[in-house]
Amino acid sequence: MATLEGKVVLLTGAARRIGAVIARTLHAAGATVVIHYRHSAADAQQLQTALNTQRAASCFLVQGDLLAVAQLPSLIAETLALTGRLDVLVNNASSFYPTPIGTLTETQFDDLIGTNLKAPLFLAQAAASQLRANHGCIINIVDIHGFRPLKGYPAYCAAKAGLLMLTQSLARELGPEVRVNGVAPGAILWPEMAENHAMHQDLLAKTALKREGSPEDIARTVLFLVRDADYITGQVIPVDGGRVLNH
């Protein structure tokens, strides 16, 4: 089986939760991982220590605010300074909270569009020349609610729908050298904010498999798209237990 040995992966928002599991999975397959974080410094350092204990100099950290678009090229430059190359960009960082019509503020809209759509686009643009040179790939973590709206979350759903189309657009823009794909989680690891809990059981009831998935389900799909899917581009794979089957 092919490994990712010698490949460098930059993952946004990967200090904890699903991002950290993706980082661990790609690292276990041989990759050198560069973990971006904004505020979760302690979690990022703990993960770095664990991975570097397994394999020396195999995990690096970069810090930054993805809403500061002018600073995004420096994240790529810092990654290159640390590792010398870049093969894979995983756009994982995301904001997620309800914004029912009548309550939505421009600040919330800018945050949700910024983290879920604008940052992935401008990071891809900054990384494009390196990814082209290395015949690399981009993986966007989308959401099944980019396909089907979730009541009370219009700005978030619009952002993820945009990321779905961006995945397809970048596949056209960056091919043939760079593959661009996405993974759309369903009910996987529920966000910690209390206001997101109300519909959890309702969503699980609407899945064909009637259960929550795991972060490992997402990470294994990312690994497949990075390592084993040389002839797949412009696709977004729902990993949702069959949720999109239910209107």
Owner of token pair 């599991």: 21
Once rounded to an integer, what is the mean pLDDT over residues 46-57?
98
- What predicted TM-score, i.e. pTM, was given to this entire model? 0.95
Once rounded to an integer, what is the mean pLDDT over residues 102-129?
98
- Which own/partner pairs from 126-131 qualify as long-range (CB within 8 Å, at least 24 positions apart)? 126/72, 126/73, 126/75, 126/76, 127/10, 127/76, 127/86, 127/89, 128/174, 128/178, 130/76, 130/80, 130/85, 130/86, 131/86, 131/87, 131/88, 131/89, 131/174, 131/177, 131/178
pLDDT at residue number 202 = 72
Q: Which residues contact 163 (CB under 8 A, 6 or more apart)?
A: 91, 116, 117, 120, 140, 142, 146, 182
The model's confidence at residue 144, banded by pLDDT at 50, 70 and 90, is very high
Top-confidence residue, 202 or 62: 62
Give the tokens for residue 237: 């794979």
Domain spanning 8-239: which CATH class is it, in words? alpha beta
User: Within 13 Å and on the Cβ side, how many CA atoms surround 147?
Assistant: 20
Cβ count near 229 (within 10 Å): 16
Q: Give catalytic residue positions.
A: 156
Q: Taking all residues of the chain, what is their mean pLDDT, rounded to a whole number? A: 93
Domains in the chain: boundaries: 8-239
Top-confidence residue, 170 or 188: 170
Q: Does pLDDT of 199 surpass 70?
A: no
